[in-house]
Amino acid sequence: MPKKPPAPRFVPTHLTQEASWLLFNRRVLEQTRRPDFPLLERLRFLAIWASNLDEFFSARISRAFAEERGSPSYLALMNEAQDQAEEAGKLYLEFLKALVGLGLHILEPSQLTKAEKQYFGAYLAEEVAPLTDLIRPEALPELASQALYFASGEGLLQHLIRLPESVPRLLEVPGREGGFVRLGALVRMRSDLFLPGNQKLPLYEFRLIRLAQLARSRADWDELPEALETRLDGQVSHLELEEDFPPLWAETIRVALGLEPPEVFQLPPPLDLSFVATIVAHGPEAERFKPIVIQKPKGFAKDPFGYLNRRDLLLYHPFEDYAAVEAFAQMAVRDPKVEALRATLYRIGDENGIAQSLIEAAKAGKDVAVLLEGRARFDELANLEWSLRFAGAGVRVLPLPSKKVHAKALYVRRAGSEYVHLGTGNYNPVNGRLYTDLSLFTAHPVLTADVRAFFEALEHQQAPVLSTMRTASFIRDLLLESIQAEAHKKGEIILKFNHLTDPPILQALEEALNRGARVHLIIRSTLTTLWEGVEVKSLVGRFLEHARVAAFKNKGKWRVWAGSADLMPRNLDRRYELFFPILDARAKRKVLEILQAQLADDRNSFILLPKGMERRWGGKRDGQRLG
């Protein structure tokens, strides 16, 4: 009888992408309990959690909503999301008590003096009521996503009130330092200002979330404005009602919106806890993180081209100055020898020094072209505005290819020589100082030639063909080949990504594990396969972990790659990302030291296991630092 092959040592446990992402948001919520974080920073994580949950129901849930509604796995998602929401409500009440010690008070209207009530009554009448919509119940199917509503009536549901989004959710109480009152609570107090006939009736809070998708995912610049107009016409995926909401009205709204009972959460008011960010902004500096000491690369900003003629430069943001990236672009504008600039721009925000430098360069007569990604979800309108600014200044905005361009590259041609910046993060001045990302500046010919070829292909609406770097599905091919080469007892692999959900890559990792390779995973958010006995780490701390890195031992001669791509089918099959090798020996050592520090971290870590998560806090090894 032939021998049976040995049973695999590492048996997989599979999670859906949505379930894994919700567990990530639970890790965000857990940061509100960090004993080593200042109070306001812990409160900030409550606001981040709330915004993340809205993103879950507007974007992350879309596949499961379309394909799995009513299934046990879908109901498990609803149960986890509701459990988090209920826990967040309890944490909010705990924070209210803790804030008193800082002299910060979120007051109820009953705690206001007579004069303060009179003031806010006038404020509501003058500033809020004219902007507030009174809506008939027949219009329930047309209600807007993420707006805050109140329901009212005598017996039957008769009136819906939509609070204006232009008025802050949290208002300072004049004359009371550290005193605030919620807009919603004030509106409840003076419902007569918002209901017909000056009726004074109880108000009940609710809000809903719709799936947010562009009607045309491949819209080019001339189609984008119309596509944006229909973005929030998606189906309602979620409804939140305050816990005392009248049952008959609740059922009326649920049926009108086409939701199933598990998709409706009844929670203690206030709903949408993201407003606590206002308290964070007003609180004392002593309850915030102390500023980090940011290191600046010596000699680079004054003469980046001379520097890169001698050696590469690799920076680890935010611990090393993101301003060096902006200075690189600015020096290219000022240098009369610079002839051409190219850039990929994805999420760049409303004000952006690099984008402004590109405009100045075009006005100075330099050849400037950008691939501005008009389909960057939730940033489309800002990028549409930038497209007009670029066009008006003479910057060529390249046509959008069929695949999204998520690559992060800045190219400069100067006196016949070529220089590039390659990154793992967006060219965004805020995120560049908050996210941990890698920046590589280089004049290495094989890399600069590939970046030039990348832009030339996009300009001619062709698929990029690169020799050393990788883009699109070729990134998967590279990783599969590299993982398979380590599938032996002396093999070693380190992967650090935000998301790892690609089935072929996960399968290759499993095969490598069962052949004896050591596999180290640092996955911030979503991971859809776990193995008993494999330590998978998620770092959630002060800074958002954002760098994407892959390292392979390669018989003791480590090969290290970094880039813009997370390991998801959409990133590898439907986007043009850029994955680049770290060729400089010093830069490679630096990346490996960062990875080893994060593998050793016991201050910001969660160990992801098939049966749950384990916190590793309170230790001395902080992986969110340089050196």
Are 138 and 267 found together in one domain?
yes
More confident residue, 481 or 218: 481
Are 493 and 542 found together in one domain?
yes
Q: Answer yes or no: are the C-beta atoms of 409 and 454 closer than 8 Å.
A: yes
Query: 421, 440, 460: which is the final residue of a domain?
Result: 460
pLDDT at 220 over 70: no
Query: 287, 322, 343: which is the final residue of a domain?
Result: 287
* Listed range (12-26, 31-45, 232-246, 492-506) with the worst mean pLDDT: 232-246
3-state class of 343 per DSSP?
Answer: strand
Q: Nearest 5°: CA angle at 458, between 454 and 464?
A: 45
Which residues are known to be catalytic?
406
Strand (E) or helix (H) holding 524: strand 518-527
- pLDDT at position 7 is 66
- pLDDT at position 159 is 97
Are 373 and 489 found together in one domain?
no
Split into its structural domains, the chain has a count of 3
Percent of the chain with pLDDT over 90: 90
For residues 474 and 573, give the distance between their C-alpha atoms in angstroms, rounded to a whole number: 9
- CA–chain centroid gap for 329, Å, is 25
The packing angle between helices 323-334 and 353-363, to 10°, is 10
Are 517 and 546 found together in one domain?
yes
Give the CATH number, domain containing residue 223. 1.20.58.310
- pLDDT at position 482 is 98
- 1 domain-assigned: no
How would DSSP label each residue in 568-597? SHHHHHSEE--EEE--SHHHHHHHHHHHHH
- 541 domain-assigned: yes
pLDDT at 214 over 70: no
Residue 585 pLDDT level (bands cut at 50, 70, 90): very high
Is the bond preceding 2 in cis, omega lying within 30 degrees of 0? no
Residue 377 pLDDT level (bands cut at 50, 70, 90): confident
- 504 domain-assigned: yes
Structural domain boundaries, residue 563: 470-615
Q: Answer yes or no: are the C-beta atoms of 32 and 42 closer than 8 Å.
A: yes
Helices (H), 368-473: 380-393, 445-459
Are 40 and 158 found together in one domain?
yes
- pLDDT at position 378 is 74
Residue pointed to by tokens 């203690």: 268
DSSP state of 470: B
- pLDDT at position 9 is 86
pLDDT at 513 over 70: yes
Residue 215 pLDDT level (bands cut at 50, 70, 90): very low
Residue 219 pLDDT level (bands cut at 50, 70, 90): low
Are 608 and 504 found together in one domain?
yes
Residue pointed to by tokens 């998709």: 263
Give the CATH number, domain containing residue 424. 3.30.870.10
Are 152 and 125 found together in one domain?
yes
Helices (H), 486-625: 503-514, 569-573, 585-600
Are 445 and 476 found together in one domain?
no
Residue type for position 596 = Q
Mean pLDDT of the chain: 94
- pLDDT at position 89 is 98
Percent of the chain with pLDDT over 70: 96
Residue 227 pLDDT level (bands cut at 50, 70, 90): low
Query: 437, 460, 483: which is the final residue of a domain?
Result: 460
- 622 domain-assigned: no
Q: Answer yes or no: are the C-beta atoms of 523 and 546 closer than 8 Å.
A: no
Are 352 and 424 found together in one domain?
yes
Average pLDDT over residues 457-462: 96
Are 110 and 195 found together in one domain?
yes
Residue 305, phi then psi, degrees to nearest 5: -75, -40
pLDDT at 231 over 70: no
Beta-carbon contacts of 325 under 8 Å, excluding residues fewer than 6 positions away, are 315, 354, 410, 421, 423, 427, 432, 439
Are 450 and 487 found together in one domain?
no
- 592 domain-assigned: yes
For residues 36 and 454, give the distance between their C-alpha atoms in angstroms, rounded to a whole number: 45
Residue 537, phi then psi, degrees to nearest 5: -115, 140
Closest CA to 439 of 354, 357, 358, 378: 354
Beta-carbon contacts of 217 under 8 Å, excluding residues fewer than 6 positions away, are 375
For residues 27 and 115, give the distance between their C-alpha atoms in angstroms, rounded to a whole number: 44
Tell the burial category of 132 from Cβ atoms under 10 Å away from its Cβ (0-12, 13-18, 19+).
Answer: middle
- 56 domain-assigned: yes
Q: 17-58: per-residue pLDDT in tens?
A: 999 999 999 999 999 999 999 999 999 999 999 999 999 999
Q: 305-326: per-residue pLDDT in tens?
A: 999 999 999 999 999 999 999 9
Q: Which long-range contacts (CB under 8 A, 24 or more apart) does 416-421 make?
A: 417/305, 417/309, 417/443, 418/443, 418/445, 418/448, 418/449, 418/451, 418/452, 419/304, 419/305, 419/308, 419/443, 419/448, 420/447, 420/448, 420/451, 421/325, 421/328
- pLDDT at position 202 is 96
- 22 domain-assigned: yes
Are 529 and 596 found together in one domain?
yes
Q: How many CB atoms neighbour CB 118 within 10 A?
A: 11
Residue type for position 528 = T
| Residue 140: both structure tokens together | 């329930």
Average pLDDT over residues 601-607: 97
- 32 domain-assigned: yes
pTM: 0.94
